[in-house]
Amino acid sequence: MTQSSSQPERIRIFDTTLRDGEQSPGVALNHQQKLEIAHQLARLGVDVIEAGFPIASPGDLEGVQRIAREVRGPIIAGLARAGQADIEAAARGVDGADRPRIHTFIATSPIHMKKKLNLEPDAVVERAVQAVRLARGFVDDVEFSAEDATRSEWPFLVRIFQAVVEAGATTVNIPDTVGYTTPDEMRALFAHVRENLPGHVILSSHCHDDLGLAVANSIAAAEGGARQIECTINGIGERAGNASLEEIVMAFHTRQDVYAYTTGIATRELYRSSRMVSRLSGMPVQPNKAVVGDNAFAHESGIHQDGVLKARETYEIMNAELVGREAGVLVMGKHSGRAAFRKALSDLGYEIEEERIKGLFAGFKDLADRKGQIYADDLRALVEARTDIPQTFTLERFQITSGSDLQPLAFVRIATPDGVHEATASGNGSVEAVFGAINAATGIAPSLEIYRVQAVTKGSEALGEVSITARHGETSLHGTGVDTDVVAASGRAWLRIINQVVAGQGKSRAVTQGTV
- Residue of 170, 76, 96, 97 whose CA lies nearest to 132: 170
Measured from the Cβ of residue 355, the count of other Cβ atoms closer than 10 Å reads: 7
146 bridge partner residues: 106
472 is in an annotated binding site: no
Rg (CA), the chain: 24
- Residue of 374, 384, 380, 336 whose CA lies nearest to 459: 374
Measured from the Cβ of residue 248, the count of other Cβ atoms closer than 10 Å reads: 28
- Number of DSSP helices (H) and strands (E) in the chain, helices first: 16, 17
Measured from the Cβ of residue 419, the count of other Cβ atoms closer than 10 Å reads: 6
- Residue of 44, 80, 82, 48 whose CA lies nearest to 67: 48
Q: Which CA distances in Å does 309 have to 61, 77, 314, 315, 316?
A: 52, 46, 9, 10, 11
- Residue of 484, 459, 473 whose CA lies nearest to 506: 473
Distance CA 434, CA 427 (A): 8
User: At 54, which helix (H) or strand (E)?
Assistant: none
244 bridge partner residues: 232
20 is in an annotated binding site: yes
304 is in an annotated binding site: no
Going by C-beta distance under 8 Å and a sequence separation of 6 or more, which residues neighbour residue 174? Answer: 145, 146, 149, 150, 157, 189, 190, 193, 203, 204, 205, 206, 221, 226
Residue 481 contacts residue 475 (beta carbons within 8 Å): no
Helix 214-224, helix 183-195: angle, nearest 10? 30
Strand order from edge to edge, sheet including 464-472: 447-455, 464-472, 475-483, 507-508
Residues of the binding site for Mn(2+): 20, 206, 208, 242
Residues of the binding site: 20, 206, 208, 242
